[in-house]
Homo-oligomer: A and B are copies of this chain.
């Protein structure tokens, strides 16, 4: 047969077909048949690339995580911690349609991972990576006086806020627009800065900031 595309490219195409089915019809409709039809392949052909449906789903989930991580890795460096946090968080939120798709797929897999052992490890990996990222952001902000010094508490708060915003964006994309999501994050970063400086005001006598 024509080896017109690489096998790994085919697998990526199939992962994207999974995403489209999940977004349009839900994860419960992402059967082998439906995904094969969505990709324009026979299901026998699909099973040449993925031996089982579980393997297909795990790959589709893994690819979502890889995309997000590679996008973060490709960001140009930003020395200012506040601007860096703002941009990293903007990269993590579903601000455009591509990331909206990733976010909905991520939510579907996250929900299923509660009872699906095959997806649990991947979900935990994404969770840990995101938490680590939040922790470094908070640490850097705190070092610059732009966040309180209770690193674990502020990490938990930022991480939960981020996932909560993502869930809300998936639930109500009409209400949570790209602007409102970005504004929510900016508001939280402002609040962190205020708290961070408050603590200094209290310890010293009185400092003016602009």
**Residues of A participating in the B interface, judged by any CB pair closer than 8 Å:** 23-29, 104, 107-108, 110-116, 123-124, 127, 148, 150, 153, 156-157, 159-165, 167-168, 170-172, 180, 183-184, 187-188, 191, 194-195, 198-199, 201, 205-206, 208
Report whether A114 and B167 are in contact in the complex, using a CB–CB cutoff of 8 Å: no
Q: Given A108-B114, A167-B167, 13 more contacts at CB 8 Å?
A: A27-B28, A104-B114, A107-B114, A111-B112, A127-B172, A150-B187, A157-B184, A159-B168, A160-B160, A163-B163, A194-B199, A195-B195, A201-B201
- Contacts A194-B198, A198-B198; A171 near B127 (Cβ below 8 A): yes
Chain B proximity of A138: nearest CB distance (Å) = 13
Residue in contact with A115 in the complex, picked from B24, B161, B163, B168, CB distance below 8 Å: B24
- Taking chain A's interface residues, is the majority helix, strand, or loop, or is none over half, making it mixed? helix
CB pair B111–A107 under 8 Å, yes or no, is yes
- Which of B111, B172, B201 contacts A124, CB < 8 Å? B172
Distance of A116 Cα from B108 Cα, bound (Å): 13
Q: How distant is the Cα of A194 from the Cα of B199 in the complex, in angstroms?
A: 9
A123-B171, A171-B123, A191-B148 known; A184+B156 contact, CB < 8 A = yes
Q: Is B180 a contact of A156 with CB atoms below 8 Å?
A: yes
Which chain B residue lies CB-closest to A113? B171
The 6 closest A-B pairs by CB, nearest first: A164-B164, A160-B164, A26-B115, A111-B111, A163-B164, A153-B187
For A27, list chain B residues within 8 Å (CB). Answer: 28, 111
The verdict on A163 contacting B153 (CB below 8 Å), with A112-B28, A172-B124, A195-B195 known, is no
Q: Can you report 23 residue pairs joining A to B where beta carbons are below 8 Å apart?
A: A23-B115, A24-B115, A26-B112, A26-B114, A27-B28, A29-B115, A107-B111, A108-B111, A108-B114, A110-B171, A111-B112, A127-B171, A127-B172, A150-B187, A157-B187, A157-B188, A160-B184, A161-B161, A163-B167, A164-B164, A194-B199, A195-B195, A206-B208
